[in-house]
Amino acid sequence: MTNLNDVLVDVKSLKLKVDALNNLVFSNLEDAEDRLEQNWIKENFTLRTMTEEQTQDLFILSTVISDVWKSVERLQDEIKKADTSRNTLASDEVPASNE
């Protein structure tokens, strides 16, 4: 990666991947919560326990994914600030004279 624009493209790609993971986790979480409402799972201790554990794991995953998303957004903001600062400094440079 030679410049900040390349980094920004990579960050946007990372955000898309994190968003895909987030959608997958929430879809699985909804399915697990729906299964917990079904009588045949409520009546079976083993199935109920396994589904409850799966739901807890999915909540943990969703929390981690949310934290990663926030970190990536902060990183993206900092990169944009750095790029803006760099562009401002470059425009403030005075061309050298022959004197």
Q: What is the pLDDT of residues 51-95, one digit of tens each?
A: 999 999 999 999 999 999 999 999 999 988 887 877 776 665 555
Place of tokens 């917990």: 36
Query: In this structure, what DSSP letter does residue 38 have?
Result: S
Radius of gyration of the chain (CA): 24
Query: In this structure, what DSSP letter does residue 75 have?
Result: H
At 43, the pLDDT band (50, 70, 90 cuts) reads very high
The pTM is what?
Answer: 0.75
Q: Where are the alpha helices (DSSP H) in the chain?
A: 4-36, 39-42, 45-92
Residue 14 to residue 69: CA distance in whole angstroms: 9
For Cα atoms 25, 30, 32, give the angle at the middle one, nearest 5 degrees. Answer: 90
Q: Give the mean pLDDT of the chain.
A: 88
